[in-house]
Structure 1
């Protein structure tokens, strides 16, 4: 498999348990959610990112980041551009796109799972030169 493990970015932000946020949440580097989000959670696309949705966390909206670790509940689509880890207590209702997937026993997904390779890591197709003079 062509997946390369990279050094994970540091978790710089925390949404604590008991906290509820309504609206889109954009972040860089790492984010851990222990509370509840009503809106999309989207990582900065031009940097490596880590999103951790802990056991007691709830996200009602789209989730998009490089490395995503889910052990809580997500109601919405999930898109991981690198590695998606679905831990035992994870509950996802929505379609899931990933490059690499690790799913533990006990986790549930109510939606479509779709592998999506990172085209930028693949070599460009090269055609052989014609031998005509």
Structure 2
């Protein structure tokens, strides 16, 4: 349920990274565990494959780029596509300008999606893993 404290699949990891409200990140982020965005991220946000991970875009937070993670909670602004292979929550103040790919979705009254909603676990997971693998491949090629 929206707003409940106990969410299976959410917050199971012990590590949390916080982008505070006074911070702005220009560039892509690859993470594991939990990522809480209260500030601004101008770049893609991608969870490490084969791990439980949660992205939370908090009330005043903003992501300008793609989000790819198993679980995503949005209550701020996202300008870009969202790929959630497990669970997506769009809270009352969520504003997404882009396409949303999900397996399970909760959407509160007041949430906005200016793009298409596409159901499909396989599509979201496959596209997310392919993007992360491509970024790892390009990093290893650049270091050679």
**2:96 is equivalent to residue 55 of structure 1:** no
Instruction: Give the TM-score taking structure 2 as reference length.
Output: 0.76
Which protein is richer in helix relative to its size?
2
How far, CA to CA, are the matches of 1:71 and 1:11 in structure 2?
21
From 81, 94, 114, give the equivalent of 2:118.
114
Any gaps of 5 or more consecutive residues in structure 2? 1-7, 124-144
Q: Which has the larger radius of gyration?
A: 1
CA RMSD, 1 decimal: 1.4
- Regions of 4+ moved over 6 Å: none
Q: Please state how far the C-alpha of 1:10 moved relative to its aligned partner.
A: 3.3
Q: How many residues align?
A: 115
- Contact 2:94-2:112 within 8 A present in 1 as well: yes
Shift of 1:85: 0.2
Give the structure-1-normalised TM-score. 0.82
Instruction: Quote the offset at 1:118 in angstroms.
Output: 4.2
Matching residue of 2:130: none
Please give the secondary structure, in 2, of the residue aligned with 1:81: strand
Counterpart of 2:4 in structure 1 is none
